[in-house]
Chains A and B, each alone.
Chain A
């Protein structure tokens, strides 16, 4: 609605196909990396996560950006709506993931120290 009154008769189909091509290329890169799994990416760690996984996560967020901004037309919405949706999700998810992964890692260490047996 933010845009349909001002330029109602303009077609965005060129941009849509461009975004489709970008999304396809990103997915292809992900799949190829996932099949080859280059050794140096798998065995290099950055902030206790494999480099290859960082690449996957960054590419995924990049794809999410294109889907939200271009396909869901977030780029055409007001700043207020954009922030109330994207920032809310962003902060809560980062917080949740941080807590759960830290806790998961801690529980893992407890299992490793042998106080609790998981394989008997």
Chain B
């Protein structure tokens, strides 16, 4: 039998076989590699966001102007306060998670349960905040005019303040009604009609001499180009084709359609991770309550979901930087 044993001279060494070179359990190692692959997915999204931004670097929307809402502060310009708050919520839920893991090491079931519960609550608050952020983004604030080239024109007054379409456009009585499936021969329908037609906008704009048009283009100092009154009128007449209010995947009132697409995709994909994180946390929470890990003798499962939860926080840190700050 001696002859069949191959001696490599590496017995007993780290990679000599018969031991665990990485000194982690299978489950934890696979969680790390899942996180690695997920991190690469997110970097793919963020890097392609960077691509789009470099491509349209002289006409990209200014994030401060888009995300400037805060609950109960209507009409107050509050750039970034809200996302900063969301960041703190997520970081704090990360802290409670790591405290749960820590309590698990000391086999304190009650403490693990309490910290897990706090983590879950933090996750739910974050999800609610994100839903509110989406609601604001989809509804829009001011509305804009779509041009033939697929760009948007925004309306401001002499002082440079944004003016909502509502404030100067009066919808003329229309004969055109939305076509619905119920009254069509071919059972087709069409998107909701805009509240104002291009003619309404033109009439309103002409009637208010203090209004100007702001284009998407950025100046050297990073501000949007503002047209003169004459140029504004000419631009509206020659290029305006309709009204955009709010945002969807095809167009948005903030500027480049890609801006809306990346917003929905990246924050949506991240929100989906938070949602699954909360669900997994809830499962583990109940397992802690019924004493599964107490019987098992260790709380490694809490550590594994902890890894996932921290990863979700880690991704948000990057989304926060590249979507809201840079």
Contact = CB atoms under 8 A, between A and B. Distances in A.
Contact of B95 (A20, A60, A73, A112): A20
Given A57-B326, A60-B321, A85-B35, A104 B98 contact: no
Contacts, number: 166
Interface stretch (B132-140, B154-162, B275-283, B305-313): B305-313
Contacts of A44: none
B41 to A, nearest CB: 11
Contacts of A8: 105-106
A107 B50 CA distance: 12
Contacts of B53: 104
B286 interface: no
B221 A31 contact: no
A24 B88 contact: yes
A1 B47 contact: no
Contact of A67 (B25, B59, B102, B314): B314
A77 B314 CA distance: 18
A88 interface: yes
B22 interface: yes
A67 B151 contact: no
Given A1-B24, A78-B23, A108-B54, A119 B149 contact: yes
Interface size class of A (residues with CB under 8 A): 35 or more
Query: Among B151, B216, B239, B313, which residue has the most Cβ atoms of chain A within 10 A?
Result: B313
Contacts of A35: 79-80
Given A4-B300, A104-B53, 6 more contacts: A16-B95, A27-B84, A78-B23, A81-B29, A104-B55, A120-B148
25 contacts: A2-B23, A11-B102, A13-B99, A13-B102, A16-B99, A16-B102, A27-B84, A30-B325, A53-B326, A56-B325, A57-B321, A59-B321, A67-B317, A71-B306, A72-B307, A81-B22, A81-B23, A85-B33, A88-B36, A89-B36, A97-B43, A112-B58, A118-B56, A118-B149, A118-B151
Interface of B: 14, 21-25, 28-29, 32-33, 35-36, 39-40, 43-44, 47-48, 50-59, 64, 79-81, 84, 87-88, 91-92, 94-95, 97-99, 101-102, 105-106, 147-149, 151, 216-217, 221-222, 239, 298, 300, 306-307, 310-311, 313-314, 317-318, 320-321, 324-326
